[in-house]
């Protein structure tokens, strides 16, 4: 959108703005996957606490541990399992706990950078309230009403869970039709809704297998749906328009994936 001759860049809620003022498409881990990861982490922590409690009871029964010391040991172990261990794990693994590894995610800062000790400690500390003391109810309620599925600890720490398992890219990169090369250089194609993006991708890959009449009808329908996300609109037939939109979006998302991988590799060094 232009205002008084100046261009305004709109950053979507699922994008991050780097220090070079480049908007990168990122995909947060969905609410359900985050819940599964949290259940895995809590289950592991609970198993550790149960094993410790059984060990303490066995030692107390043998007289190896004074019963007066048991409450102190139990409290210390709870603090270690619920706060110390999660903080150390997320700090040393750069935001990847066992549950997040299982669902293909990691905790990062809002700007896409690696989360550090401070972020992990805040998340673990707030997690005692929202996960352990409320059985996850607070985390679930907050996660449902936040765009990136953030829990309360994420909001306080300024983090969210980023998806690390990207969908496999198609074998052949869609190409901009020759007649739209000039348009593609200046086109602003916003992120498409996932269902529409999938249908455009299927049409580009398999459209030639359709009967000409059916292909034209489908192309016209898809072009109408995609038009609100494109500026300026090229003067061309619907099928070429769809192929141009798919190619521009693919190029942008592919560049974003490469930039994300380069940033991740630089952080690991």
* Mean pLDDT, rounded, for 254-262: 75
Per-residue pLDDT for 20 more than 70?
Answer: no
| pLDDT value, residue 267 | 63
267 Cβ partners below 8 Å, 6+ apart?
94, 113, 114
**Tens-digit pLDDT profile for residues 34-44:** 889 999 999 99
C-beta separation of 254 from 22 below 8 A: no
- Band of pLDDT at residue 142, cut at 50, 70 and 90: very high
The per-residue DSSP string of 55-92 comes to HHHHHHHTTSS-TTTHHHHHHHHHHIIIIIHHHHHHHH
Average pLDDT, the chain: 81
* Mean pLDDT, rounded, for 88-111: 89
* Mean pLDDT, rounded, for 212-239: 89
C-beta separation of 25 from 256 below 8 A: yes
- Band of pLDDT at residue 26, cut at 50, 70 and 90: low
Between CA 173 and CA 164 the distance in angstroms is: 21
Find the farthest-apart pair of alpha carbons in the chain and give their distance in angstroms, rounded: 87
- Band of pLDDT at residue 22, cut at 50, 70 and 90: very low
Per-residue pLDDT for 268 more than 60?
Answer: no
| pLDDT value, residue 94 | 87
- Band of pLDDT at residue 13, cut at 50, 70 and 90: very low
**Tokens at 4, concatenated:** 């008084």
Q: Which of 20, 66, 67 is nearest to 255 (CA)?
A: 20
Between CA 164 and CA 145 the distance in angstroms is: 23
Between CA 46 and CA 99 the distance in angstroms is: 13
**Tens-digit pLDDT profile for residues 66-82:** 777 888 888 889 999 99
For a pLDDT cut of 90, what percent of the chain falls above it?
27
- Band of pLDDT at residue 138, cut at 50, 70 and 90: very high
Q: Compute CA 76 distance to the chain's CA centroid, rounded to the nearest angstrom.
A: 34
263 Cβ partners below 8 Å, 6+ apart?
18, 112, 113
For a pLDDT cut of 70, what percent of the chain falls above it?
85
Backbone conformation region of residue 61, classed left if phi is above 0, alpha if psi is from -120 to 50, else beta: alpha
Per-residue pLDDT for 196 more than 70?
Answer: yes
14 Cβ partners below 8 Å, 6+ apart?
25, 26, 27, 28, 147, 148, 191
Q: Tokens 């348009």: give the residue.
A: 183
């Amino acid at each position: 959108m232009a205002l008084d001759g100046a261009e305004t860049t709109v950053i979507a809620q699922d994008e991050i703005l780097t220090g070079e003022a480049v908007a990168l498409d990122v995909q947060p881990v969905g609410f359900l996957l985050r819940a599964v990861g949290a259940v895995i982490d809590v289950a592991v922590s609970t198993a550790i606490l149960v094993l410790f409690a059984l060990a303490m009871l066995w030692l107390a029964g043998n007289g190896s541990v004074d019963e007066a010391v048991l409450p102190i040991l139990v409290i210390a172990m709870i603090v270690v399992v619920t706060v110390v261990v999660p903080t150390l794990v997320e700090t040393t693994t750069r935001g990847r706990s066992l549950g997040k590894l299982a669902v293909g995610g990691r905790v990062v800062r809002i700007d896409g950078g690696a989360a550090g000790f401070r972020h992990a400690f805040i998340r673990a500390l707030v997690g005692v309230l929202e996960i352990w003391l409320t059985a996850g109810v607070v985390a679930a309620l907050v996660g449902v009403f936040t765009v990136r599925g953030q829990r309360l600890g994420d909001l306080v720490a300024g983090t969210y869970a980023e998806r690390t398992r990207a969908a496999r890219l198609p074998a052949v990169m869609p190409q901009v039709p020759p007649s739209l090369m000039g348009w593609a250089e200046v086109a602003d194609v916003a992120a498409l809704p996932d269902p529409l993006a999938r249908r455009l991708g299927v049409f580009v890959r398999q459209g030639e297998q359709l009967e000409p009449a059916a292909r034209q009808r489908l192309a016209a329908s898809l072009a109408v749906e995609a038009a609100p996300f494109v500026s300026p609109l090229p003067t061309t037939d619907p099928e070429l328009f769809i192929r141009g939109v798919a190619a521009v979006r693919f190029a942008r998302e592919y560049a974003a994936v490469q930039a994300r991988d380069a940033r991740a590799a630089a952080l690991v060094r």
